[in-house]
């Protein structure tokens, strides 16, 4: 039985928002809107959360924070981008330190437009997110199984490589060993460059994006 939809716990993170959207998110908790009716709780803890509400755009300094919160949430999880800033950067888009919307860092499931997004729209966005959450829940066992299989393969491959390296070293000559070392160094440099590049954005599924936005507007 899917109980996930009956008790979605939310974590709210303020990127570089003007605080307008944050106040609207908090307004959802007030007696006026009372999201606890739907079992929604605002937890301050990513490890307890199912829904990640992000307000405001992503800047150079909070990329790692957003990624970390996202990674700490146990699956299944959905991300709801609240406000036009979180969708595309909004009025701050041209600022020198702004990366753009939340989807430049983590995959976003629901976009809630508005400046500021209205509490009704935010609640609606979370409820839309529940459908995505349910789908992800169904896929979760397969995902975990696939990951475990991949991990096992990697370990096996790693063990093989180690054994081979050991054999080569046992072979006596210094030549091949230094070569391996040099290659590893090169590799490390290469990957450093790749991660330092700021444009490591995860491209969102364009169709889904359009659909999400359209759904909210309509």
Partner 1 sequence: MIKLDGFSLNIVAMAAYLVLAPFVGGLLAGLDRKISARMQGRVGPPVLQPFYDVLKLLEKEKVTVNDAQGFYTACCLIFMIVTGCLFFVGVSLLLVIFTLTVASLFLVVAAFSSNSPYAQVGAERELLQMMAYEPMVLIAAIGLYMVSGNSFNVGDIMGHGRVGIIYLPGIFLGFLFILTIKLRKSPFDLSTSHHAHQELVKGLTTELSGGTLAMLEIAHWYENVMLLGFVFLFFANGTVLWAAIGVAVCVVAYFVEVFIDNVNARMKWQFALNSSWIVALTFGVANMLVVYIADISNWMGGGY
Q: Which residues would be at the binding site for ligand SF4 (CB under 6 A)?
A: 17-18, 20-21, 55-56, 83-85, 90-91, 115-116
Is 37 among the residues that bind partner 1 (CB under 8 A)? yes
The DSSP symbol for 62 reads: T
Interacting residues with partner 1 between 133 and 172 (CB under 8 A)? 137, 140, 144
Q: SS3 of 173, please?
A: coil
User: Nearer Cβ to ligand SF4, position 19 or 191?
Assistant: 19
Which residue in 19, 23, 48, 171 binds partner 1 (CB under 8 A)?
Answer: 48
Tell me which residue of 59, 76, 82 sits closest to 12, measured CA to CA: 82
Rounded to 10°, the helix 119-170/206-217 angle is 170
Contact between 3 and partner 1 per CB under 8 A: yes
Residues contacting 154, CB < 8 A, separation 6+? none
Stretch that binds partner 1, among 60-68, 74-82, 87-95, 171-179 (CB under 8 A): 74-82
DSSP state of 95: S
Residue with tokens 């391996």: 180
The reply on whether position 41 binds partner 1 by CB under 8 A is yes
Given partner 1, ligand SF4, none, residue 45, with its beta carbon under 5 to 8 Å by kind, binds partner 1
Nearer to ligand SF4, 8 or 83 (CB): 83
Residue placing its CB nearer to ligand SF4 in the complex, 89 or 204: 89
Asked if 86 and 116 count as a contact pair (C-beta separation under 8 A), the reply is no
Interface of this chain with partner 1, residues 97 to 116, rule: CB under 8 A:
none
Q: In whole angstroms, what is the distance from residue 124 CA to residue 67 CA? A: 25
């Amino acid at each position: 039985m899917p109980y996930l939809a009956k008790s979605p716990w939310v974590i709210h993170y303020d990127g570089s928002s003007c605080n307008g959207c944050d106040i609207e998110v908090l307004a959802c908790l007030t007696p006026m809107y009372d999201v606890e009716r739907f079992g929604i709780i605002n937890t301050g803890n990513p490890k307890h959360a199912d829904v990640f509400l992000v307000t405001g755009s992503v800047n150079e300094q909070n990329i790692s924070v957003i990624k970390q919160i996202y990674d700490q949430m146990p699956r299944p999880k959905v991300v709801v981008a609240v406000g036009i800033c979180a969708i595309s950067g909004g009025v701050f888009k041209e600022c020198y330190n702004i990366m753009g919307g939340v989807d430049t860092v983590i995959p976003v499931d629901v976009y809630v437009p508005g400046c500021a997004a209205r509490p009704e729209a935010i609640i609606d966005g979370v409820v839309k997110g529940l459908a995505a959450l349910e789908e992800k829940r169904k896929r979760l066992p397969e995902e975990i199984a696939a990951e475990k299989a991949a991990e096992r393969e990697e370990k096996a491959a790693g063990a093989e490589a180690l054994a081979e390296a050991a054999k080569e070293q046992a072979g006596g000559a210094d030549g091949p060993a230094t070569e391996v070392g040099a290659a590893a160094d090169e590799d490390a440099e290469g990957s450093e460059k790749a991660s330092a590049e700021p444009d490591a954005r995860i491209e969102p599924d364009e169709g889904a994006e359009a659909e999400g936005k359209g759904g909210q507007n309509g």
